[in-house]
Chains A and B, each alone.
Chain A
Amino acid sequence: MAERTVLSKEEVREIFVSYGAAPTEEERAGYREQLVEQYIGLVEFLARRFRNRGEPLEDLTQVGTIGLLKAIERFDLAREVEFSTYATPTIVGELKRHFRDKGWAVRVPRRLQELHLELTKIVADLGQELGRSPTVSEIAKVAGTSDEAVLEGLEIAQAYNFTSLDAPMDGHNGGTTSFAEHLGTEDEHLENLEYRASLAPEMAKLPERERDILYLRFFKGMTQSEIADKLGISQMHVSRLLNRTLIKLREALED
């Protein structure tokens, strides 16, 4: 990676002033480039938070750079806030939007994507109302559709890549705590000897959250709904992560 000159706050401010005052687009582009160069490290840092999601880091950095450009465009020096503070939510927002829009691993018809979103909510609401995991007929009744359509919708959920680790939690708990924060509390339990002894070496290579879900399901005997409640994510998301992890483990076993 090329060495970058780190500019002082004042120097950055000066570039922003010049950028705002530049009479031609050509000049503006020059200042913009300087600013991008100055903050590309921030973009890379933020993009790294979204890696292991099936997208190359370079692509994520590109997406993040779009966010950076938007932030440069909108930044107002009168705000008296550091540009990096201002730009971070815009860059993260761009990355999250990228995953929201492109989260489907295979092309899924819009109708099924919408059904999937609807089912996620219904399953969570019904689970709370009934105090147990709902049946397919119960879900179908609320959704106003057939059992077959619900089954199809549930299966299609497996084609959805993931939900960002830092995305607001879906379901009914609101959006203030992130998935990552929830998982942190499980770490000490993962030291459990029995669990560690059963860990095949390939399991140890899994991302932490996927190992945690495996642990809660197969070693703590929690149901998918219980795990969903505990982690503040949807049951369908738990199902997706579990299935994906098990497929990975089977492939590793075969190698």
Chain B
Amino acid sequence: MGIQPYPLSSDRVFVRRAYLDAIGMLPTAEETEAFVADSRPDKRSRLIDDLLDRPDYANHWLVKFEDWFRNSQYYSQGRTNGSYKRWLHDLIAEDRPYDEAAREMLTATGDTTVHPAGNFWHPAIDFMLKVFEVNKATPTVTRLFLGQRIECAECHNHPLENLTQDDFYGMAAFLARTKVKHGYAQYRRVWYDTREGEVMHPNKNVAVAPKFLDGTEPHLAPGQTRREALADWILEDQQLQFARATVNRVWYEYFRRGIVEPFDDFRSTNRASHPELLDELAQYFIDSGFRFKALHRLILNSRTYQLSAHTPERPGGQDPLEDMLFARYVPRKVPSEVLLDAIVQVTGIHEDFKNYPDGTSPKDLVASIGATHFLTTFGTPRRDVLEARSQAPSLAQALNLMNGTEVEEKVRAENNVLGELLRQGLPDEQVVSELYLRAYARPPTSEESEAITAYVAGEAQAGRDRRRAFENILWAILSSKEFELNR
């Protein structure tokens, strides 16, 4: 096809990108300069190691895990979301083997405030009727752990795939004996397994025996529950597919496109764009003992991840195929929580969240309780569906940047970054340069510097004060594409 990978990103681009992707924060001006000045050939991998060891790494990826597993007030009514969040946090921070954690979720029993892994099943509870809906839980399991969408087969045989309603209900039968008890006001939930209970085939109206998606039937050991048999099958018999689905999901977070795309839709009529790569990543993940940090380290160190996003100077500019083939880093909007943290970092002014202590990061909010207008506008999801969160730009976002209080208050605050820089009596160019470093991890070009200092001069001529001019510059930086994008 004649498509060539783009050149490697510059150090300044890389440092900002790696911080945003790995830990969801901006590098400080000092961190950026230290990295740029570092002349060691392996400085990129050193930086990656450093980032993955920071607490911010777990806090940042936690939000993604909460998206994946739908830790939502919407399902858990608030009370047990905190325990689930802590459990997921520890899974990431301690780099627990993911197969072990998956088994814990799949087979969870007991009170979810004490055994938080059981929160995994909460999105399948109909909270009006307080019942566990096996038909909702079944596709959740296959999508999350196998990257396979079988929900269509709840109602009809798949038109193209070898996937029938019998297959769906055969899988659903593994959850037929999973039950939940509700405590006071649904806050407390206790999961357990019974010895009886079947799912009925909707058309044939007969009980369906458990059968795995590959057509095999379980041999239950004495005392083994159906869920335990399901966990064995997914994590042992289907180990490679479990690993493929997981690495593809993580790959999507870095590249905004899965090697199989959509990232949780593996099927014979939707093949991987790079099957060898996918299998090598999956095997690496297995060999590493299902440790996420190893996978992050591998991806972050790859040339593919470190490619430039710059459109080459040739007629026609960027070729759409390049994004499909991972020939460049695709610029993307940073998630809402990361954007707000970045605004706080650049301005030096905290965001206040009702009922949370000062200095709380939006990543610390429990299951979107306290998610503000800003966060929901910029894409913090309600986690009511299995779909990945939308990071699409919208009119509401543009309006919020222009007029909303979050940016405005921080720009105007007396004690913000401008207060500090102006107090130091720096000349205009240097103030601009400091702001650029904080926001973009680069100094302004000479054209940019000239344009901005000309703006300050123009404002002075119009009789407006210098601080106000810089407030508007700070506003423009925070509203700019380069700031909102990871590139």
Q: Do A and B come from one complex?
A: no
Q: Which residues of A contact B (CB under 8 A)?
A: none
Q: Which residues of B contact A (CB under 8 A)?
A: none
